[in-house]
Structure 1
Amino acid sequence: MDNLSRRGLLTGAGAIIAAGTLGAPAASARPVRPLALPATKRFVMGGAGGELFRSKPLWGPTVMQSFAFDTPNNRLFTGQLRSGTPANSGDLTLSQLSFSGTVLGHMYLTGFGHAVSIGAEAVGSTTYIWTETDVDTANGRGRQIARFPWQNGATKTSSQVTKWKPVANGSVFTPAVDQRYGRLGVRYSLSDGMHINVYSLAAARVGDFSTVLASFKQPALTAGIDFQGWALYGSYVYFWEGEAYPGDPDPAQATSKLWCYDINTGQIVDSFRTLAGQSLTYREAEGMAVYGSTDATARLYFGFASGVTGDRRASLFYRNQLV
Structure 2
Amino acid sequence: MAYTDANGVDLSGVTGRLIQTVDLVKGPAPQAIATDTVNGHVFVLQVESSATMPQGNMWLNRIDRRTGKVTGSMQLKGFGHGLSMGAQPVGTDTYLWTEVGPLHTSMSGTTVTATFGKAVTRFRFVDGSVLDGALIPQGQKFTPPGSTSGVGPSLDPVNNLLCVMYHKDGKRHFTRYDPAAAAAGSWVPVGTTFVMPAGEDVTPDVPSPYPLQKTLVSQGFTALGDVLYSYQWAPYDKDGNPTIPSEFPGIAFLTSYSWTTGARLDRQVVTNADGLTRREPEGVAVEVDPATAETRLLFGFSNTVPGTTGSRDVTIGWYPTKPAVDGVKVLADWEDLALEPGVNPGAQPPRGRLIALAGTTYLQLRGTVTCSLSADSRIGTLPHRLRPTHLTRQNVPRNNNTGRYVCRIEADVHGALWAYGATSDNATTWIDLDGVTVAWR
TM class by smaller structure: 0.7 to 0.9
Distance in 2 of aligned mates of 1:243 and 1:54: 23
Matched, 1:172 2:150: yes
1:191 corresponds to which letter in structure 2? D
Query: What's the counterpart of residue 317 of structure 1?
Result: 317
Query: What's the counterpart of residue 160 of structure 2?
Result: 182
Secondary structure, in 3 states, of the residue corresponding to 1:171? Answer: coil
Contact 2:7/2:224, CA 8 A, preserved across alignment: no
Report how far residue 247 of structure 1 moved: 5.2
Report how far residue 135 of structure 1 moved: 4.1
2:149 corresponds to which letter in structure 1? S
Q: Match for 1:291 among 269, 287, 291? A: 287
1:215 corresponds to which letter in structure 2? T
Query: What's the counterpart of residue 128 of structure 1?
Result: 95
Q: Match for 1:213 among 191, 216, 221? A: 191
Distance in 2 of aligned mates of 1:40 and 1:123: 29
Report how far residue 243 of structure 1 moved: 4.3
Matched, 1:280 2:268: no
Quickly say closer, same or farther: Cα 1:135–1:321, change in 2 above 3 A.
same
Matched, 1:265 2:261: yes
Matched, 1:229 2:187: no
Contact 1:257/1:272, CA 8 A, preserved across alignment: yes
Quickly say closer, same or farther: Cα 1:85–1:208, change in 2 above 3 A.
farther
Secondary structure, in 3 states, of the residue corresponding to 2:284? Answer: strand
Distance in 1 of aligned mates of 2:36 and 2:182: 17
5+ long unaligned stretches in structure 1:
1-38, 249-253
CA radius of gyration, larger in: 2
Secondary structure, in 3 states, of the residue corresponding to 2:134? Answer: helix
Secondary structure, in 3 states, of the residue corresponding to 2:276? Answer: coil
Distance in 2 of aligned mates of 1:217 and 1:42: 23
Report how far residue 86 of structure 1 moved: 6.0
Distance in 2 of aligned mates of 1:179 and 1:321: 15
Q: Note the alpha carbon deviations across 1:301-323, whole angstroms, 9 max, x for none.
A: 11111115332111111101357
Q: Match for 1:149 among 104, 107, 124? A: 124
Secondary structure, in 3 states, of the residue corresponding to 1:151? Answer: coil
Alignment of 1:1-323 (within 5 A): 41-83=7-49, 89-99=55-65, 100-139=67-106, 140-161=115-136, 162-219=140-197, 220-223=200-203, 224-243=215-234, 246=247, 255-292=251-288, 296-307=293-304, 308-322=308-322
Contact 1:291/1:298, CA 8 A, preserved across alignment: yes
Quickly say closer, same or farther: Cα 1:279–1:193, change in 2 above 3 A.
same
Contact 1:58/1:314, CA 8 A, preserved across alignment: yes
Identical positions, percent: 29
Contact 1:78/1:95, CA 8 A, preserved across alignment: yes
By relative contact order (CA 8 Å, sep 6+), the higher-ranking structure is 1
Contact 2:83/2:151, CA 8 A, preserved across alignment: no
Quickly say closer, same or farther: Cα 1:165–1:176, change in 2 above 3 A.
same
Distance in 2 of aligned mates of 1:225 and 1:87: 28
TM-score normalised by the chain length of structure 2? 0.59
Q: Note the alpha carbon deviations across 1:188-227, whole angstroms, 9 max, x for none.
A: 0012211111112222111211333220212314431211
Report how far residue 101 of structure 1 moved: 2.2
1:311 corresponds to which letter in structure 2? S
Distance in 1 of aligned mates of 2:25 and 2:163: 27
Quickly say closer, same or farther: Cα 1:243–1:45, change in 2 above 3 A.
same
Secondary structure, in 3 states, of the residue corresponding to 1:172? Answer: coil
5+ long unaligned stretches in structure 2:
107-114, 204-214, 237-246, 324-441
Greater mean deviation of Cα atoms: 134-143 or 144-153 = 134-143
Report how far residue 52 of structure 1 moved: 1.9
Report how far residue 136 of structure 1 moved: 2.1
2:220 corresponds to which letter in structure 1? G
1:212 corresponds to which letter in structure 2? V
Distance in 2 of aligned mates of 1:169 and 1:247: 35
Secondary structure, in 3 states, of the residue corresponding to 2:151? Answer: strand
Distance in 2 of aligned mates of 1:244 and 1:42: 29
Query: What's the counterpart of residue 23 of structure 1?
Result: none
Report how far residue 40 of structure 1 moved: 5.5
Distance in 2 of aligned mates of 1:115 and 1:320: 25
TM-score normalised by the chain length of structure 1? 0.80
CA RMSD of aligned residues (A): 2.3
Report how far residue 236 of structure 1 moved: 1.2
Quickly say closer, same or farther: Cα 1:94–1:70, change in 2 above 3 A.
same
